[in-house]
Structures are given as structure tokens and as C-alpha cells.
Amino acid sequence: MQKCEGRTVLVTGASRGIGRAIARRLAAEGASVVLSASRSGVHGKLVGTLDEVVDEIRAGGGRAGAVTADLSNVNERSDLIHRASELFGPIDTLVNNAAGARMKLPSQANHEDRSFMYELNVNAPIDLAQQAIPSMRTRGGGWILNISSASARQPALPYRDSKDAALVIGPYGATKAALDRYTIALGHELVEHEIFVNALAPTSIVLTQAAEYVRDIGRRNPDMVEPVEMMAEAALELCTGRHAGLITFSRDIVHSTGRKVHSLDGTRVLGDAFLEADIEAGE
């Protein structure tokens, strides 16, 4: 019996990076997965589309579909859970992964920068959770996982060799701190309804395209980089376990629960919580 058999999952920001990895890992455990991003096609230099990830999952025997919405736009996201539910049925697991960062010094992040980040990184996850909760309650439970960041706290790591990077990540980190606080409260509120709400952050850097600008830091400090499979495995734990209101890190939850880290298709054990990343290969 696979761990997510019969389950219906929505993963936001699943066209590439960490969202794609989580979607693939949950699909490999039998979940029907709805992927979302703001666009379905190719854009700019960024590699990876929703359709490609849907094809990847289907090629491995999984069930996947896609919906699009710019989650920074309150109108576009207002019916996302409803639209996602039309593909495979009611959503019982929501992974709020999509986020955006404007790297600006705290003294210079203007109202537009801050509004964009708070809409996408804080209000969108809360709105989607509130859209999903009624059906989860009716159906007797569910899981909500918010993807956070170590930058919710002023980082000594992973930006120890770049003071500028540690500063410009501050305004984005503030949105993740807000998301963490909301997660704790929502988790404590909903645990009695068997709805398990938690937040998960990479322990260090995952070399997705969004993190490309820190690849040189990773080369100088390989211990500051983790493989994307670590986040996928940690997400699987938090989307199947009975944790509530946790703000946790990928290696911590993998280590404390004794999990083995698997390949994204679920077929191979790659290692444990101390698995290292291939810095040149990235995600």
C-alpha cells in the first residue's frame, strides 16, 4: 500500500524546483496530484513547465493534472481550490509552495515590492488553506503544508560569506516569518479536526533556478547545499504524519523520524538526512 493512495493533492509552484520535486514524490506514493503555477508555458530563461511535470508523472504511472493562476492576484486565486478539485475530486492535501522574492535592502523595499511578496507568500497560502478547509473538515481531515525559509530568522547560515545577501533577503524573510506564525496558530486550531498544518523549510540551500544567484556560495561552502530530494522526503512525512503546528527544517524532520531519502520516483533509497547535494547538477 502506497502512503498516499486515494489522496488528492494540490502543489502550488510545481512547474519546477522544490514544488516539482514534492509533486513527483507524492505522486510516486499514489497521490493524484494537481500542479499549479502562474503560467503553463515556457517563459524567459526559466526551464520547466507545468505540462512537462504532468508528463513526467504520467510517464511514471502516476496521476497528474494542472491549473494556472497568478497567486499574487487575489482574483485569480479566488477559485483555485474549486478548479483543482474538478480534476480528481476534493483536495485533501494542500502544499503551499509557490513564493517570490524581491531582493532589496530592508531600507529600500518599497510598498509595491512588499505588497507583492505579502500577497504571494502570506495571503495566498492562507486564502488557499481557507478555501480547502471546509471540505477537509467535512471529509474528516487533511494536510496543509506551507513551504517556509530559514531566512524567516536573520541568517548566520547559509549566507555567512555574503553580508549583502544576508541583508537583501530580509524583506522576503519577513513574509516567511509571518507565514510561520500563522501556520502555528492554524495548526493548533485545526488539529482537533484531524487537519495537520505545518511549515517546512530547506535546512540550507536547494539549488533551484530561483537559488541560482547563490550557486557560487554553494561551491565555496558545499555543506550549505542540500539535494531537492531532502525537501521532497520531508514533505512526504509532513503530508502523511500526524504533526501539527510544527515549523521545521528538511534534514531535522527526516532525521528525527528516521526516514530514508528516496529518489523522486520513489524507487531508490539515496541516503539519509546527511545526504549531500551535487552542486553542479543542482535540482
Ligand X SMILES: NC(=O)c1ccc[n+]([C@@H]2O[C@H](COP(=O)([O-])OP(=O)(O)OC[C@H]3O[C@@H](n4cnc5c(N)ncnc54)[C@H](OP(=O)(O)O)[C@@H]3O)[C@@H](O)[C@H]2O)c1
Strand pairing of 261-262 and 8-12? unpaired
Q: Which of 36, 38, 85, 149 is catalytic?
A: 149
Q: Which of 32, 151, 176, 204 is catalytic?
A: 176
Dihedral of the CA atoms 230, 264, 225, 174 (nearest 10)? -70
**Annotation says 118 is catalytic:** no
The residue (of 8 and 149) whose beta carbon lies closer to ligand X is 149
Q: Which of 9, 71, 91, 128 binds ligand X (CB under 6 A)?
A: 71
Minimum CB separation of residue 19 from ligand X in Å reads: 5
Name the residue type at position 216: D
User: Is-contact 68 98, C-beta < 8 A?
Assistant: no
Q: Which of 10, 33, 62, 72 binds ligand X (CB under 6 A)?
A: 72
**Annotation says 148 is catalytic:** yes
**Torsion sign over Cα 214, 259, 180, 137:** positive
Residues of span 195-224 touching ligand X by CB under 6 A: 201-202, 205-206, 208-211
Minimum CB separation of residue 72 from ligand X in Å reads: 4
User: Is-contact 149 173, C-beta < 8 A?
Assistant: yes
Distance CA 258, CA 233 (A): 11
Name the residue type at position 146: N
The residue (of 18 and 264) whose beta carbon lies closer to ligand X is 18
Q: E strand or H helix at 19, and its extent?
A: helix 17-28
Q: Which of 15, 148, 151, 204 is catalytic?
A: 148
Residues of span 9-48 touching ligand X by CB under 6 A: 12-19, 37-39
Q: Which of 27, 120, 128, 230 binds ligand X (CB under 6 A)?
A: 120
Q: Is 53 helix (H, G, I), strand (E, B) or coil?
A: helix
User: Is-contact 35 50, C-beta < 8 A?
Assistant: yes
- Using the rule CB under 6 A, is 123 a contact of ligand X? no
Minimum CB separation of residue 140 from ligand X in Å reads: 28
What length does the chain have?
283
Which stretches of the chain bind ligand X, using CB under 6 A? 12-19, 37-39, 70-72, 97-100, 120, 147, 149, 201-202, 205-206, 208-211
Residues labelled catalytic: 148-149, 172, 176
